[in-house]
Amino acid sequence: MNGATRTNTRDIARAAIQSELAKVAFDLFRREGFGNVTVNDLAAAAGVSRSTFLRYFDTKEDAVLGAVDGQGQQIADAVRARPADEDDWTALRRALGTVTEEHRRDPDGALAMSQLIMRTPALCARSQEKQNGWRPAIAQALAERGDPSRPTALGPLVRAAAAVDCLNIAVNEWTASDGRLDLDDLLDGAFAALAPR
């Protein structure tokens, strides 16, 4: 077995453990309330030590929001994969399908997660912070697909920020409707409200 195989196997095992710890944390937060659960409670529920739990998550907020970390890069990769002749706004809307697809795949789980985040100020703030971190990667993807002769300093960053805000507004409306409204329709509406005229 070479070093790359060992590293890959280690990464897969780490991701599986992290996923299981996140599930235990989410279930406990839903039952007991986020503010009523400590890291010690999370570790005990998962059957691991506090230090083991903290090896996978820096904070209890991260135990809930760990899945959000990779979404910015997924969106950026999806922007890069869009046809070159597609305008940036359309490419962004289509790329956000990577996030809405996760909601379609597990609507009950996504709704429960969104409700927990919206009802918990610490999670709401941390989620916003993580999503703000998506902007540079998405803006870079937009700049890479743009016309090299046009200035790109602020345009891609503004469009990336607007797209992430449209996603947040759509998810908030979807959550407020208890998942009855169609998330893609809400996102289309948010994008239409900002579409260049």
pLDDT value of residue 69:
78
pLDDT value of residue 14:
82
pLDDT above 90 covers a percentage of the chain that reads 70
27-31, 64-68, 97-101, 159-163: least confident range: 64-68
Q: Does 88 share its domain with 179?
A: yes
Q: Does 97 share its domain with 129?
A: yes
Q: Which of 47, 63, 79 is the last residue of a domain?
A: 63
Is-contact 141 76, C-beta < 8 A? yes
Comparing 67 with 83, which gets the higher pLDDT? 83
What's the CATH code of the domain at 48?
1.10.10.60
Q: Does 86 share its domain with 49?
A: no
pLDDT value of residue 102:
86
pLDDT above 70 covers a percentage of the chain that reads 92
pLDDT value of residue 92:
96
Average pLDDT, the chain: 89
Q: Which of 10, 45, 63 is the last residue of a domain?
A: 63
Is-contact 142 87, C-beta < 8 A? no
Give the pair of three-digit tokens for residue 152.
């790109």
How far apart CA 117 and CA 175 sit, in angstroms, is: 10
pLDDT value of residue 4:
54
pLDDT value of residue 6:
58
Residue 49 clears pLDDT 60, i.e. is over it: yes
Comparing 191 with 154, which gets the higher pLDDT? 191
26-35, 103-112, 117-126, 145-154: least confident range: 145-154
Tell me what the mean pLDDT of segment 36-47 comes to: 94
Q: Does 94 share its domain with 188?
A: yes
Quote the domain boundaries for residue 33: 1-63
Q: Does 197 share its domain with 115?
A: yes
pLDDT digit string (tens) for 51-81? 999 999 998 999 988 877 789 999 999 999 9
Neighbours of 79 (CB within 10 A): 28
Q: Does 161 share its domain with 108?
A: yes
Q: Does 117 share its domain with 195?
A: yes
What's the CATH code of the domain at 107?
1.10.357.10
Task: Give the count of domains, the chain.
Answer: 2
pLDDT digit string (tens) for 139-173? 999 998 866 655 567 889 999 999 999 999 999 99
Residue 184 — pLDDT band, cuts 50, 70, 90? very high
Q: Does 55 share its domain with 75?
A: no
Q: Does 50 share its domain with 144?
A: no
